[in-house]
């Protein structure tokens, strides 16, 4: 069965970029950190994306948070310098145990480590890295606590406990385990785990590093040049999943703490643009609208007196951190530009008409088309069963991916609408 797609895209462009950033990060954990030298992998990924990561780690195999609180190497490293973030995770099974046991065996030591971090520097942000469930659950403890007999049950308990740790310590979360869950739910389990069904293969560690990059730098990983030896197709899949998990729910993972996230949306009516900050952390706002005008309101509106292209920057800051996002806004322009970045979409017809982009395509029954924004989030997905369709998308640049033959063949293109 074949259907035709007609996709309408509103002709306004907002292309967001963030400034190059340097972060100093200490990792406190165990083999879930050091396997495949994940911190170095993260540093290489960071460098390829134009940012800088300075890191150290304390991660003996199997270590618990309780052991870290009295481990001289961990304590020394906490107090060795002023860190931007300290990323902490517990032994892989312990946060999945019954809530009463976690409250006794994990939470007090998470709080103790957080207290050490802030005794060294009150500005340092503690980030708890939510780990992943074992592929087959926890058979060793399944009899005494059936909730963790399966992967899903164990992952749910890990999520609950790490979110509780963030709440209790005014900290933030790196949702690595939730990215793993998408992969497991999509039958990628053999690709993630070594034979012990717990520790990650290289793709698992790469996914871990992508989630950490997005959580630390607040930028997407999609199209990063560092692939850690993976194929471009495989690495891009992991990048997209990491970006989706991090940015779809940034206000959930980073609802506590004092680590600001510069994000905003806008709507345009004629020459008036209304801006809305999406930062969930209390902070001071500073706007520059690209025409010499500025504002310090949280959600300002601005009237442009001339048509043209304007660079808008939004800075959120507090006494410890500052972050800036820069976007380009086009006023009074209805031109559309289209260019492919990788291959072509067979049979696609892309043309301008009436100030809108018309995207026509014939899909086979098992084909799938996705539109992805610059944060790596899939904003629209179509199959032959859901077409034809007409949609108005938020302003932006979009990557379109066509999956044919059940994903065996992938074509990629980029649509720039401005």
- Give the percent of the chain with pLDDT over 90: 67
Instruction: Tell me, yes or no, whether 62 and 87 share the same domain.
Output: yes
Residue 378 lies in a domain: yes
Of 26-40, 262-276, 317-331, 336-350, which gets the smallest average pLDDT?
336-350
What are 59-70's pLDDT values in tens digits? Answer: 999 999 999 999
Instruction: Tell me, yes or no, whether 246 and 339 share the same domain.
Output: no
Residue 357 lies in a domain: yes
d(CA 5, CA 386): 9
Instruction: Tell me, yes or no, whether 165 and 225 share the same domain.
Output: yes
User: How many domains are contained in the chain?
Assistant: 3
The last residue of a domain, from among 253, 272, 302: 253
d(CA 127, CA 254): 9
Residue 102 lies in a domain: yes
Residue 353 lies in a domain: yes
Q: Got the DSSP string for 339-355?
A: EEEES--TT-EEEEETT
Domain that holds residue 217: 22-253
| Domain CATH for 372 | 2.60.40
The last residue of a domain, from among 253, 284, 307: 253
Mean residue pLDDT across the chain: 85
| Domain CATH for 154 | 3.40.50.1110
Closest CA to 321 of 171, 125, 52: 125
pLDDT score, position 56: 99
Residue 380 lies in a domain: yes
Residue 369 lies in a domain: yes
User: What mean pLDDT is predicted for residues 377-394?
Assistant: 60
d(CA 267, CA 412): 28
Instruction: Tell me, yes or no, whether 211 and 326 share the same domain.
Output: no
Confidence of residue 146 (pLDDT cuts 50, 70, 90): very high
Residue 335, pLDDT > 80, answer no
Instruction: Tell me, yes or no, whether 68 and 130 share the same domain.
Output: yes
Instruction: Tell me, yes or no, whether 76 and 134 share the same domain.
Output: yes
pLDDT score, position 51: 97
Residue 194 lies in a domain: yes
What are 299-316's pLDDT values in tens digits? Answer: 999 999 998 889 999 999
Rounding to the nearest 10 degrees, give the CA dihedral for residues 79, 81, 83, 88: -40
Q: Sort 8 into a burial class: Cβ within 10 Å, 0-12 / 13-18 / 19+.
A: middle
SS3 content of the chain, % helix, strand, coil (to 5): 30, 30, 40
Is residue 388 reached through a cis peptide bond, with omega within 30 degrees of 0 on the bond before it?
yes
The last residue of a domain, from among 253, 286, 301: 253
User: Hey, what are 22's tokens?
Assistant: 């340097």
Q: What is the pTM of this model?
A: 0.78
Instruction: Tell me, yes or no, whether 212 and 298 share the same domain.
Output: no
Instruction: Tell me, yes or no, whether 80 and 150 share the same domain.
Output: yes
Contact predicate 135/197, CB 8 Å: yes
| Domain CATH for 270 | 2.60.40.10
- Report the sign of the C-alpha dihedral through residues 109, 114, 115, 119, in that order: positive
Instruction: Tell me, yes or no, whether 248 and 395 share the same domain.
Output: no
Rg (CA), the chain: 23
Residue 259 lies in a domain: no
Place of tokens 């609802």: 255
Instruction: Tell me, yes or no, whether 270 and 286 share the same domain.
Output: yes
Of 12-16, 64-68, 262-266, 410-414, which gets the smallest average pLDDT?
12-16
Q: Which residue has the higher pLDDT, 204 or 344?
A: 204
Residue 379: other Cβ atoms inside 10 A: 14
Pairing, β 172-174 against β 125-129: parallel
Place of tokens 């779809």: 248
Dihedral pair phi/psi, residue 314, rounded to 5°: -125, 120
Instruction: Tell me, yes or no, whether 148 and 223 share the same domain.
Output: yes
pLDDT score, position 246: 96
What are 225-263's pLDDT values in tens digits? Answer: 999 999 999 999 999 999 999 998 999 999 999 999 988
- Give the percent of the chain with pLDDT over 70: 79
Instruction: Tell me, yes or no, whether 65 and 202 share the same domain.
Output: yes
- 178 conformational bin, left if phi > 0, alpha if psi -120 to 50, beta if neither: alpha
């Amino acid at each position: 069965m074949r259907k035709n797609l007609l996709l309408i895209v509103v002709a306004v462009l907002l292309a967001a970029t963030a400034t190059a950033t340097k972060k100093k990060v200490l990792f406190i954990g165990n083999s879930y950190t050091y396997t495949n030298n994940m911190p170095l992998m993260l540093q290489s990924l960071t460098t390829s994306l134009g940012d800088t990561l300075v890191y150290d780690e304390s991660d003996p195999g199997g270590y618990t948070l309780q052991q870290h609180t009295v481990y001289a190497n961990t304590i020394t490293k906490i107090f060795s310098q002023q860190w931007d973030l300290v990323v902490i995770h517990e032994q892989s099974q312990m946060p999945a145990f019954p809530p009463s046991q976690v409250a006794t065996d994990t939470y007090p030591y998470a709080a103790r480590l957080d207290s050490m971090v802030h005794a060294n520097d009150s500005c340092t942000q503690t980030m708890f890295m939510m780990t992943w469930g074992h592929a087959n659950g926890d058979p060793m403890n399944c009899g005494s606590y059936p909730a963790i007999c399966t992967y899903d049950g164990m992952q749910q308990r890990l999520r609950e406990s790490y979110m509780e740790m963030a709440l209790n310590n005014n900290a933030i979360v790196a949702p690595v385990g939730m990215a793993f869950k998408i992969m497991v739910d999509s039958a990628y389990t053999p690709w993630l785990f070594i034979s012990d069904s717990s520790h990650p293969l290289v793709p698992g560690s790469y996914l871990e590093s992508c989630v950490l990059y997005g959580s630390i730098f607040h930028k997407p990983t999609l199209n990063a040049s560092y692939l850690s030896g993976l194929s471009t197709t495989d690495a891009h899949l992991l990048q997209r999943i990491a970006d989706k998990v991090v940015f779809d729910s940034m206000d959930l993972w980073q609802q506590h703490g004092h680590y600001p996230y510069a994000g905003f949306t806008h709507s345009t009516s004629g020459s008036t643009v209304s801006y809305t900050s999406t930062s969930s952390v209390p902070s001071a706002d500073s706007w520059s609208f690209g025409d010499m005008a500025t504002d310090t309101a949280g959600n300002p509106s601005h009237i442009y007196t001339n048509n043209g292209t304007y660079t808008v920057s939004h800075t959120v800051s507090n006494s410890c951190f500052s972050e800036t996002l820069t976007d380009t806004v086009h006023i009074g322009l209805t031109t559309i530009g289209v260019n492919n970045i990788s291959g072509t979409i067979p049979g696609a017809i892309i043309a301008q008409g009436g100030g809108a982009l018309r995207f026509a395509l014939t899909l086979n029954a098992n084909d799938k088309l996705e539109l992805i924004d610059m944060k790596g989030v899939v904003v629209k997905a179509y199959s032959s069963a859901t077409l034809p369709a007409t949609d108005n998308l938020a302003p932006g640049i979009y990557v379109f991916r066509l999956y044919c033959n059940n994903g065996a063949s992938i074509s990629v293109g980029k649509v720039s609408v401005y």
